[in-house]
Amino acid sequence: MALNQQKVQELDAVVVGAGFSGLYMLHKLREAGYSVRVYEAGEDVGGTWYWNRYPGARCDVESIYYNYTFSEEILNEWTWSSRYAEQPEILSYINFVADKLELRRDIQFKTRITAARYNDQNRNWEIRMEDGTRVTAEYFITALGCLSSSNIPKFKGLDSFKGEMYHTGRWPHEKVDFSGKRVGVIGTGSSGIQAIPAIAQEAGQLTVFQRTPQYSCPAQNHPLDSETIGQTRKNYGELKQLMRYSMHGVPSGPRMRSALEDSQEERERLYEKAWQEGGLFSLTYNYNDIGILPEANETAASFIRTKIKQIVKDPEVAQKLMPTYYYATKRPIIDTDYFETYNRENVSLVDIKAAPILEITQNGIKTAEAEYELDVLVFATGFDAMTGPLFNIDIRGKNDISLKEKWADGAELKTYLGIATSGFPNMFMLTGPQSPSVLSNMMVSIEQHVDWVADCINYLREHHLEAFEATGEAEEFWSQQCRAIADMSLLTKTDSWYMGANIEGKPRGFLAFAGGVGLYRIICDDVAARGYEGFTSVLSTLGTDESFVKEGFFRSNIDPQAWFILKQLESAGAPPLELLTPDQARLAADFRLLAGAPEEVAKVENRTIPVPGGEIPVRIYTPAGEGPFPALVYYHGGGWVIGNLDTVEVPCRMLANRAGCVVVSVDYRLAPEHKFPTAAEDSYAAVKWVAQYAASIQVDPERIAVGGDSAGGNLAAVVSLMARDQGGPSLAYQMLIYPVTNHSYDTKSYQENADGYFLTKNTMVWFWNHYLRDEHDGKNPYASPLLAEDLSGLPPALVITAGFDPLRDEGEAYAQRLKAAGVSVEETRYDGMIHGFFWMPGVLVQGNAAINQAANALKHAFNTVKTI
Ligand code: N01
């Protein structure tokens, strides 16, 4: 490893904080040969676990998953005593690691860093301590913890209280004696809920001041037996992989089923099982939509409320303890005897939402309703999370801009990957805002960040690169991404510290990356593999022209939500369709989860209709109101090989409701069992059937449109040609969504988007090969409508294309030819979108927008048809 020899510098790296992340960062960099020093305000190692030593404090992630995994030796030498370790045991573990790796020799304790300033000339950081001492380093790494800036609300009269006052996050090292005392606890988050049962056992009288009631499930803690520990050690390699590529950093995840798919009895059975098993995610992992759909969420929320009612004996107290916000949109909580504690004689509950705290007096707390005399006041009032610890240091980047200014106190929070922010070269934030951090098992997130940062520093040194900085474009992209992902869930619909809502005056905005640790790891690795895409750097004086200089770039303007889907699909590790058999491909290509929840339609009916040489299913969606309605005959996509009625269930329902038309979705026969021209002939037969039997399905035969996406768009275009050429029916409109129009792969969009954007060139070749009997078929206008000699006399058209789609140019070429032939065409390219986005309104705002555009276009077309 080439060490930094080109400049006189005290240190290669400064790390702030000696918690789990700072300690591992120190170890990693020191092992690589860098000079590094850690500065820590506390007197010893531990971070969160050093400060949060309130009674009852313990981890809410199972101890066997809440430890370092980088060293097998450490894993095997440490044995946890219980399923959820208590704070003293976790602190002992941290000390054990610090001793074993001899970390203390490079840590300066009792040292608070007050400022850090980037020097543009020297391309390094000057870091200042509380006592005025300075040190310089090339890399400035914050390992501050997400929840280290404790929040004591500014109650009137706070300083007048004569008794003892404590904050759970700044607990004294000596034992606090509660015996026989009148104790008040403000706050019922994770800390309060852990502390309240423990304090109640000792206090004379405990009064809990609750602003928001909480959902909490039993931890079901128990000692760990040697068999569990042995099994865990044996399987740790596999467990580690599962944790790393999971949602929350534990080796399990949600079941792929909606809560609304099960009966109430089945749901209750599963929730009860989870309640008995205990654990942070047990309840939510029963279903995959508890965090997304309000109705699904309510099934879990009401289960917990019923439990509270059963546990708490006094119905009035139970009522006060009933939470109403969306379950799990605040950090889920697990407890030991929390609700049971309210059955104790010495515990009372005060609802400070109903009667707010007016002031802290000399003797206790005065609310709008009463005064409570107290000897001890415990603030379990949480933290100024994520940004708070960073803003506590005066961090200044290029041009002396402070981080606080740049982020406008948090209102303009912008990071790239939650690791870096533009204008602050060579600064890395471990588990920073907009990374998964607090939404995950922190140990998994910490190790991933430290490994990534260490690899990045190695890369910079090897390539003689300095002043490594996120680009503005990249951080804009990432921040937008974080917001979009959080907005897809219920997380942003609750006031929580995730949203900054717990701190008066703090700007609201979701502070973490909610896409899961697995996806996040893939994205970070991808960025690194592309030579740190999205960062810029400068070649050092040691560099030569031959040095590999990666210019920071972030070229693609793909929509962040679409990009997120691509990464998710990539992380699912599915093989390309063309490597499968058609039957396997039909099973594998189930993208219904991306469509979102199907909305209500007045009537849905399945029928079978005759076609030449057989019969095929159709599904008829009828909107509310009085018929006859106009009709859209819809053909699903899937390259004539895959796809079915369910694939387009959601868009069909939306189109029926929004366009106010009957939608007849056609399950035409698929290739290769039924090669060209079967799909086209089935599609044409379906439209003729609709015209012929219009009255029986409440359809006005004068107002029939055809439409479809991808191969379905091809079929809609082909049916329009057939209807023109073969005597009707007369069609009011053709709706062509990224249609296949030509058996050819020679467009620019095929070149640009051949791979990596959902539909690949190879898959298209595979589709065409299954569909056509021979090359000759490909020249037939009923397979390649772009090759039709004459496109005049066709119905008016909507042509929608996607920017990142191999089919983009042939769809647009068809629109041009229609226009040239005198057909009225509305044409829109959704620049940032990928093929298939019309199927994905549940996860893509643009998917929704395209469906709305199509519905409006249909409505307009139906209204302009002259009927007798
Ligand atoms: O803090 P919190 P916490 N007047 O913000 C109330 C982690 N953790 O320390 O909900 C009156 O959750 C506030 O009320 P409301 C974990 O990630 C982990 O408990 O804002 N009340 C709430 O009841 C957790 O999420 C473990 O209406 C006020 C409470 O104070 C995070 O730390 C253990 C108030 C604060 O709850 C924070 O948890 C402990 C005011 N002005 C913590 N301001 C583990 O097990 C706030 N409150 C690993």
pLDDT in tens, 229-261: 999 999 999 999 999 988 999 998 888 778 888
**CB–CB of 70/24 below 8 Å?**
yes
Range 601-628 average pLDDT: 96
Start-to-end C-alpha separation, the chain: 84
Q: Does 638 contact ligand 1 (Cβ within 6 A)? A: no
User: Which residues are paired to 377 by β-bridges?
Assistant: 165, 184
Q: How many CB atoms lie within 10 A of CB 658?
A: 18
Percent of the chain with pLDDT over 90: 85
Q: Does 492 contact ligand 1 (Cβ within 6 A)? A: no
Query: What is the band of 4 on the pLDDT scale with cuts at 50, 70, 90?
Result: very low
C-alpha to C-alpha distance for 715 and 723, rounded to whole angstroms: 12
Predicted pLDDT of residue 631: 98
Query: What is the band of 481 on the pLDDT scale with cuts at 50, 70, 90?
Result: confident
C-alpha to C-alpha distance for 41 and 47, rounded to whole angstroms: 9
Predicted pLDDT of residue 539: 85
**CB–CB of 390/432 below 8 Å?**
yes
What kind and span of H or E run contains 326? none
CA-based nearest residue to 434, from 401, 500, 386, 502: 386
Ramachandran sector of residue 354 (left: φ over 0; alpha: ψ -120 to 50; beta: rest): alpha
Query: What is the band of 545 on the pLDDT scale with cuts at 50, 70, 90?
Result: low
Tell me the CA–centroid distance for residue 212 and ligand 1, in Å: 10
C-alpha to C-alpha distance for 270 and 273, rounded to whole angstroms: 5
Tell me the CA–centroid distance for residue 57 and ligand 1, in Å: 13
Between these two residues, 255 and 398, which has the higher pLDDT value?
398
**Mind giving me the DSSP string for 811-838?**
HHHHHHHHHHTT--EEEEEEEEEETTGG
Q: Does 211 contact ligand 1 (Cβ within 6 A)? A: yes
Measured by CA distance, the residue closest to atom 40 of ligand 1 is: 153
pLDDT in tens, 688-719: 999 999 999 999 999 999 999 999 999 999 99
Range 553-582 average pLDDT: 76
Tell me the CA–centroid distance for residue 395 and ligand 1, in Å: 27
Best probe residue, ligand 1, of 191, 208, 365, 441 (max atoms within 8 Å of C-beta): 191
C-alpha to C-alpha distance for 692 and 8, rounded to whole angstroms: 87
Which residues touch 705 (CB under 8 Å, ≥6 apart)?
630, 631, 632, 633, 661, 731, 732, 733, 734, 735, 795, 858, 861, 862
Both tokens of residue 701? 């035969």
Amino acid at 766: W
C-alpha to C-alpha distance for 767 and 78, rounded to whole angstroms: 55
Q: Does 184 contact ligand 1 (Cβ within 6 A)? A: no
Q: Does 811 contact ligand 1 (Cβ within 6 A)? A: no
CA-based nearest residue to 15, from 428, 402, 394, 425: 428
Longest CA–CA separation in the chain, Å: 95
Q: Give percent helix, percent strand, percent coil of the chain, each to the nearest 5.
A: 40, 20, 40
**CB–CB of 178/53 below 8 Å?**
no
CA angle, residues 78, 83, 89, in degrees to nearest 5: 50
C-alpha to C-alpha distance for 488 and 844, rounded to whole angstroms: 9
C-alpha to C-alpha distance for 310 and 308, rounded to whole angstroms: 5
Amino acid at 410: G
C-alpha to C-alpha distance for 537 and 465, rounded to whole angstroms: 6
Judged against a pLDDT cut of 80, whether residue 547 lies above it is answered with no
Range 397-415 average pLDDT: 96
Q: Does 386 contact ligand 1 (Cβ within 6 A)? A: no
Q: What DSSP character marks residue 368?
A: S
The sign one gets for the Cα dihedral 230, 233, 235, 240 is positive
Question: Chain-centre distance of CA 852, in angstroms?
Answer: 25
Tell me the CA–centroid distance for residue 158 and ligand 1, in Å: 19
Q: Does 380 contact ligand 1 (Cβ within 6 A)? A: yes
Residue whose structure tokens are 């082909």: 718
C-alpha to C-alpha distance for 29 and 466, rounded to whole angstroms: 17
Tell me the CA–centroid distance for residue 273 and ligand 1, in Å: 27
pLDDT in tens, 766-814: 999 999 999 999 999 999 999 999 999 999 999 999 999 999 999 999 9
Between these two residues, 519 and 500, which has the higher pLDDT value?
500
Both tokens of residue 746? 């020679």
Predicted pLDDT of residue 477: 85
Judged against a pLDDT cut of 80, whether residue 13 lies above it is answered with yes
Predicted pLDDT of residue 868: 38
Judged against a pLDDT cut of 80, whether residue 352 lies above it is answered with yes
Tell me the CA–centroid distance for residue 489 and ligand 1, in Å: 21
**Average pLDDT of the chain?**
94
Tell me the CA–centroid distance for residue 434 and ligand 1, in Å: 20
C-alpha to C-alpha distance for 534 and 437, rounded to whole angstroms: 21
The sign one gets for the Cα dihedral 710, 845, 434, 282 is negative
Burial class (CB in 10 A: 0-12, 13-18, 19+), 623: buried
What kind and span of H or E run contains 163? none
Measured by CA distance, the residue closest to atom 6 of ligand 1 is: 187
Helix (H, G, I), strand (E, B) or coil at 426: coil
pLDDT in tens, 200-222: 999 999 999 999 999 999 999 99
Judged against a pLDDT cut of 80, whether residue 121 lies above it is answered with yes
Q: What DSSP character marks residue 151?
A: -
**CB–CB of 184/377 below 8 Å?**
yes
The atom of ligand 1 lying closest to the CA of 57 is 33
Q: Does 56 contact ligand 1 (Cβ within 6 A)? A: no
Ramachandran sector of residue 17 (left: φ over 0; alpha: ψ -120 to 50; beta: rest): left
Measured by CA distance, the residue closest to atom 38 of ligand 1 is: 190
Query: What is the band of 864 on the pLDDT scale with cuts at 50, 70, 90?
Result: confident
Tell me the CA–centroid distance for residue 150 and ligand 1, in Å: 10
C-alpha to C-alpha distance for 251 and 262, rounded to whole angstroms: 25
pLDDT in tens, 837-847: 999 988 788 89
Predicted pLDDT of residue 553: 43
Q: What DSSP character marks residue 247?
A: S
C-alpha to C-alpha distance for 341 and 314, rounded to whole angstroms: 12
**CB-based contacts of 226-235 (< 8 A; 24+ apart in sequence):** 228/64, 229/64, 229/79, 229/80, 232/64, 233/75, 233/76
Predicted pLDDT of residue 769: 98
Range 826-830 average pLDDT: 97
Between these two residues, 415 and 260, which has the higher pLDDT value?
415
Q: What DSSP character marks residue 105?
A: G
Q: Does 153 contact ligand 1 (Cβ within 6 A)? A: yes
Judged against a pLDDT cut of 80, whether residue 140 lies above it is answered with yes
C-alpha to C-alpha distance for 150 and 531, rounded to whole angstroms: 38
Best probe residue, ligand 1, of 52, 155, 185, 211 (max atoms within 8 Å of C-beta): 211
Burial class (CB in 10 A: 0-12, 13-18, 19+), 162: exposed
C-alpha to C-alpha distance for 683 and 612, rounded to whole angstroms: 11
Between these two residues, 553 and 257, which has the higher pLDDT value?
257
CA-based nearest residue to 718, from 758, 777, 762: 777
According to DSSP H, which parts of 399-541 are helical?
403-406, 442-462, 472-487, 517-529
Judged against a pLDDT cut of 90, whether residue 293 lies above it is answered with no
Helix (H, G, I), strand (E, B) or coil at 396: strand
**CB–CB of 28/4 below 8 Å?**
no
Measured by CA distance, the residue closest to atom 24 of ligand 1 is: 190
C-alpha to C-alpha distance for 285 and 388, rounded to whole angstroms: 31
Which residues touch 759 (CB under 8 Å, ≥6 apart)?
710, 805, 806, 807, 834, 835, 836
Range 627-633 average pLDDT: 96
